[in-house]
C-alpha cells in the first residue's frame, strides 16, 4: 500500500511542553519509532506540522534585530530543513539500510485571493498571557487569538492548490524511497501574472496539504496522527462518543473544532471521497493499529453510516 | 555533460554586504541567472555555502534566549531549507517548466576523530571588532579568529567522508532533475559504535563536499564559483598571475590561502585526479565561460603544465 502519514504538531511537541532541542529530539524519535512498522511494510510518505517551530524562528529573528526576521515563507523552508532532517535521521537510525529515506523541500501553490490572507487563523509559536499578547500584537503588527486559556499569534492559512514538486515526489516514491515532504504544509507560494512564483507570508494547514498530496499520489491511505486517540462526536463534552468507523457522509452531520479535529476530518473526508482510499485519525503510537482498524477513527466509503468504540 | 556547481559564500553574499532577506534574494536571483544556460544544456547539480546564514541563525537563537540556540547540525539543516528554497524558486522562475528542480536535504558523514574538532577553523556569521569578538568568545565559549581586519567566530570543519543521500541524488540526476543538495557542505553526522547516525556541531567545507559529490556522481565537471575571476599564483601580491589552465601536478607547487582559494584548488585537483574530469574556478557571472575555457581557471589532466591569462 502507498500511505501518506501527517504528523501533527501535538505529535511532535506534547501539549504544555517547551520547544527546545531536547524535547524535539525526544518527540521525533518517538514518532520515527511509531512509523517504522509502516515504513517497512508499505510505501510511506511523511508530512509534518511546523507551528511551534516556525513561531520560534520568527521570535528568534525578532529578538536578534527587531524587524529583521525573515518572512514566513523562508522560515517555513527553514523548518522543513530542521524537522525533516531530524525525522530523516531518526528513521534512518531505525530502518538502517532497509529503506532509503529522503527529505524534499516542497513549495505549495495557494490562491493569491484566498480569503485567509484577510483572516489570519493559524496559531504559531508559544502561548502568551493576554496582556503580553496584546502588547506584541501592537508592537509587531501581529494578529493574536485566544488558544484555550492563553493567546497565540495567528497567521494566514490559505488552502493548498498545487504541490509544485509532485513529479519528483512521485518519482522517488515509485523507486521505493521513503519520502519526507510538504513539511509545515509546504512553503506557500503564489503565481504572479507572468507565471513566476512568489513566496507569501503564511502557514498552510498540513492536514489539507497532506490530503492534496495523498490524492495526487493516488495513495491507498491517509493517516493523520496526533495526541488524541480518536475523533469524538462532542469533544470534551458529556455524551461524547469515540467514532470507530464512518463514511464521509455520516461525518458531515457533525461539527468538529476548527484548527484541531475540524481540518483532519475535512481532509480525511475529501481524500476518501475523491479517491476511494481510507483515512485514519488517532494517536501517534497507534499508527499501525489505526491502519488495521484496531484503533482510532477510520473514514471509508466501505461501511454503513457510523460505528462507535464501546 | 553532468556538472556539479558549488556556489561560494561570496557568490551568495557580496563581501561587506549585510545578510538580510533583500540581499539574499538579490544575490540568489543573480546566481540562478548565471546558472541558467548550464541548467538548460547540461545535467546540473548545485551546492552552496552557508557560513553567513548559519552564523546568523546561531546569533538569533542566542538573542532570543541565551544558551537556547539549536546545535549547528540542526542550524545547517535550516540553512539547507532556507537557501535551497530560494535557489530552487529563483531557478524555477527562469527555467519555467523546461526542467524539474528539486532540493534534497543532505547528511554528510565525517570522522569522529577528525582533528578539525580540536582546531576550529571555519568562519561563520558576521565580522566583529576585536574587543567584541573577545567578549563573545568568553561569554559563549566560541572560538574566534582574525578575518582580514576583523574577527569572526570559527567552528570545526571536518572532512566529508560519505554523502548519505547519494543514491537518491543519483536517481534524480539520472531522471533529468536539476538537484540542489549538500547545502552548506551538508549536515555533518558521525557514526556511533552501533552504526547509528548522530549530528555534530560543525560546518563542512562546501568545496570539499562538492568534490566528493562530483566524484560519486562521476560528473564531467566541477565548477566552484566565487567573486574572484581566477586562481592567482600570489593573491594580492606583486607579480601575481592569473592561471588559465593547469594540471593538478603543476598546481601542487603553489600555496593558496586556507579558507579561500586553498580548499577550491585542493577540491578541484582531487576531483580531476580521481576522475579525469575537469574543474573550473572563477566568477559566478562567468559560469558558462569557465566551462568553455574562456574565463577563470581550468584544472585538467589534459594540458601541459600551466598556462596563464595575458
For B227-254, the DSSP string reads SSSSEESSTTSTT--EEEEE-HHHHTTS
Whole-number pLDDT of residue B308: 96
- To the query of whether residue A206 is one of the catalytic residues in this protein, the response is yes
Q: Which range among A169-183, B12-26, B179-193 shows the weakest confidence by mean pLDDT?
A: B12-26
- To the query of whether residue A264 is one of the catalytic residues in this protein, the response is yes
A168-198: pLDDT as tens digits: 999 999 999 999 999 999 999 999 999 999 9
Whole-number pLDDT of residue A127: 87
To the nearest whole Å, the CA of A146 is away from the closest chain B CA by 23
To the nearest whole Å, the CA of A195 is away from the closest chain B CA by 8
Whole-number pLDDT of residue B96: 81
Q: For the structural domain made of A218-310, what CATH number should be given?
A: 3.40.1160.10
Among chain B residues, the shortest Cα distance to A178 is held by B168
Torsion of CA A164, A167, A172, A175, to 10 degrees: 170
Whole-number pLDDT of residue B66: 85
d(C-alpha B200, C-alpha A112), whole Å:
41
Catalytic residues of B: 9-10, 122, 206, 264
A184-237: pLDDT as tens digits: 999 999 999 999 999 999 999 999 999 999 999 999 999 999 999 999 997 667
> How many beta-carbon contacts under 8 Å exist across A and B?
135
Q: Catalytic pick from A186, A206, A282, A296?
A: A206
As a whole number, the mean pLDDT across chain B is 94
A294-307: pLDDT as tens digits: 999 999 999 999 99
The model's confidence at residue B285, banded by pLDDT at 50, 70 and 90, is very high
A91-140: pLDDT as tens digits: 999 998 778 999 999 999 999 999 999 999 988 888 899 999 999 999 88
**CB-based contact B81 A86, cutoff 8 Å:** no
**CB-based contact A187 B20, cutoff 8 Å:** no
Burial of B211 (C-beta count, 10 Å sphere; 0-12/13-18/19+): buried
Kindly state the average pLDDT of the residues A278-282. Answer: 98
Kindly state the average pLDDT of the residues B74-99. Answer: 94
A33-63: pLDDT as tens digits: 999 999 999 999 999 999 999 999 999 998 9
d(C-alpha A45, C-alpha A84), whole Å:
12
Which residues on adjacent β-strands are paired with residue B107? B187
Strands (E), A104-205: 107-110, 122-128, 143-147, 150-155, 160-163, 178-180, 187-191, 197-199
> Given a cut of 80, is residue B10 above it in pLDDT?
no
Helix axes B166-174, B206-216, angle to 10 degrees: 60
For the beta sheet containing A150-155, the strands, ordered from the edge strand earlier in sequence to the opposite edge, are A122-128, A150-155, A143-147
**CB-based contact B104 A103, cutoff 8 Å:** yes
For residue B98, give the C-alpha cell. Answer: 523546461
> Given a cut of 80, is residue B97 above it in pLDDT?
no
Quick one: three-class SS letters along B143-209? EEEEECCEEEEEECCCCEEEECCHHHHHHHHHCCCEEECCHHHCEEEEECCCCCEEECCCCCCHHHH
Enter the pTM of the model. Answer: 0.95
Whole-number pLDDT of residue A277: 98
Q: What is the ipTM of this complex?
A: 0.95
> Given a cut of 80, is residue B252 above it in pLDDT?
yes
Q: Which of A81, A96, A98 to mutate to test the interface with B (most CBs of B within 10 A)?
A: A81
Task: Check: CB of residue A181 under 8 Å from CB of residue A169.
Answer: yes
> Given a cut of 80, is residue A286 above it in pLDDT?
yes
Kindly state the average pLDDT of the residues B224-246. Answer: 89
Kindly state the average pLDDT of the residues B36-43. Answer: 95
B119-165: pLDDT as tens digits: 999 888 888 999 999 998 998 888 999 988 899 999 999 999 999 99
Which residues on adjacent β-strands are paired with residue A84? none
d(C-alpha A184, C-alpha A79), whole Å:
7
Amino acid at each position: 500500500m502507498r500511505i501518506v502519514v501527517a504528523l501533527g504538531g501535538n505529535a511532535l511537541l506534547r501539549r504544555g511542553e517547551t520547544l527546545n532541542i531536547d524535547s524535539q529530539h525526544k518527540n521525533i524519535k518517538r514518532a520515527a519509532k511509531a512509523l517504522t512498522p509502516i515504513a517497512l511494510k508499505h510505501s510511506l510518505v511523511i508530512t509534518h506540522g511546523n507551528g511551534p517551530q516556525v513561531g520560534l524562528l520568527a521570535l528568534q529573528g525578532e529578538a536578534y534585530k527587531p524587524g529583521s526576521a525573515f518572512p514566513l515563507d523562508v522560515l517555513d523552508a527553514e523548518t522543513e530543513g530542521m524537522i525533516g532532517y531530524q525525522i530523516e535521521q531518526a528513521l534512518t537510525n531505525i530502518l538502517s539500510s532497509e529503506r532509503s529515506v529522503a527529505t524534499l523541500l516542497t513549495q505549495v501553490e495557494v490562491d493569491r485571493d484566498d480569503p485567509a490572507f484577510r483572516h489570519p487563523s493559524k496559531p504559531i509559536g508559544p502561548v502568551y498571557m493576554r496582556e503580553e499578547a496584546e502588547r506584541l500584537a501592537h508592537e509587531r503588527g501581529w494578529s493574536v487569538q485566544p488558544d484555550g486559556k492563553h493567546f497565540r499569534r495567528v497567521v494566514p492559512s490559505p488552502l493548498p492548490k498545487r504541490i509544485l514538486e509532485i513529479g519528483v515526489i512521485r518519482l522517488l516514491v515509485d523507486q521505493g524511497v521513503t519520502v519526507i515532504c510538504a513539511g509545515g504544509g509546504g512553503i506557500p507560494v503564489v503565481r504572479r501574472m507572468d507565471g513566476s512564483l512568489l513566496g507569501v507570508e503564511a502557514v498552510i494547514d498540513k492536514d489539507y496539504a497532506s490530503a492534496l498530496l495523498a490524492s495526487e499520489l493516488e495513495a491507498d491511505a491517509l493517516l493523520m496522527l496526533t495526541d488524541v486517540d480518536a475523533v469524538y462526536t462532542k469533544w470534551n463534552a458529556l455524551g461524547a462518543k469515540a467514532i470507530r468507523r464512518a463514511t464521509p457522509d455520516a461525518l458531515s452531520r457533525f461539527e468538529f473544532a476548527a484548527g484541531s479535529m475540524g481540518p483532519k476530518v475535512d481532509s480525511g473526508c475529501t481524500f476518501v471521497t475523491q479517491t476511494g482510499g481510507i483515512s485514519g485519525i488517532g494517536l501517534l503510537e497507534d499508527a499501525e493499529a489505526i491502519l488495521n482498524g484496531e484503533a482510532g477513527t477510520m473514514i471509508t466509503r466501505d461501511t454503513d453510516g457510523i460505528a462507535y468504540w464501546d
